[in-house]
Amino acid sequence: MEIKEYSDALQGIGFVIGGTIMATYPSIKKWVYNKKLSSGFNKNLEARSEINKILDEIRIKLGATRVNIMDYHNGKESILGVPFNYVSMFSESCNRFTKPIISEIQQQPIAPIIPILLKLIKSPSGVIFTTDQDKEEQIAIIQQSYGCKSSYTFLLKENIASGTLVISYAETRNPMINPSTIQWIKSQIIIINNLRHKIKKTK
């Protein structure tokens, strides 16, 4: 085969290969995207499952009615540029006698729980204890509205915008959580934060 014929043959093969790649590229790209999306979704589910297990463990160990994680976020702004702030429940663990409320606590106005958040912000330890007989009426009303006689609320991180962990009791105002138990809960919060960071990375 002469050089020109050989060159023409190679060029023809190149056109065929190039055309095939061009034709199949969208399908390959879609497959890679779906594979990545599926992998990220699976990792997301695994991390959420681990968080739920931790909440279950906290609830069972402390004999609590409900343990949940709350997130705080901004929605749309008013015409004057004032942001509307909301609260959403991220995860929840309930005992078998308690109805889950996670579906009801999604993008709810933050205004009713502001007294609790302000009290938590001022707490040097990053944890507060509240009851349905709290001296601050609004806090007592909040407890009653959730069917709780008492609750412990923990900061997930230094900034309240990072969320809170809430441990609630429907039957007692004196759950008797000692300092060592509080430290154990905080160690579990560190694990929760790491898992939530993984969820954020897999989006």
Rounded to whole angstroms, how far apart are CA atoms 122 and 114? Answer: 12
DSSP secondary structure, the chain, as one string: --HHHHHHHHHHHHHHHHHHHHHHHHHHHHHHHHHHHHHHHHHHHHHHHHHHHHHHHHHHHHT-SEEEEEEEEEEEEPTTSPEEEEEEEEEEEE-TTS---TTT-SSEESGGGHHHHHHHHT-TTSEEEEETT-SSHHHHHHHHHTT-SEEEEEESSSSGGG-EEEEEESS-S-----HHHHHHHHHHHHHHHHHHHHHHHT-
CATH class entry, domain 48-201: alpha beta
Q: Given this model, what pLDDT does residue 181 score? A: 96
Predicted local distance difference test score (pLDDT) of residue 69: 97
Note the pTM of the prediction, 2 decimals. 0.78
Q: How confident is the model over 156-183, as pLDDT tens digits? A: 998 888 999 999 999 999 998 999 999 9
Q: Two tokens at 145?
A: 């509205």
Q: Quick one: pLDDT band at residue 200, thresholds 50, 70, 90?
A: confident
Is residue 11 pLDDT above 90, yes or no?
no
pLDDT confidence band for 37 (50 / 70 / 90): very low
Mind listing the pLDDT tens digit for each residue in 43-93?
Answer: 889 999 999 999 999 999 999 999 999 999 887 777 777 777 899 999 999
13 falls in which pLDDT band (50, 70, 90)? low
Comparing CA positions, the residue from 132, 175, 197, 184 lying closest to residue 154 is 184
Average pLDDT over residues 118-136: 94
Tens digit of each residue's pLDDT (9 = 90 or more) over 92-125:
999 999 999 999 999 999 999 999 999 999 999 9
Per domain, the residue ranges of the chain are 48-201
Higher pLDDT, 60 or 3: 60
Higher confidence at residue 140 or residue 32?
A: 140
Please name the residues in contact with 26: beta carbons below 8 A apart, sequence gap of 6 or more: none
Show the tokens assigned to 103. 């579906």
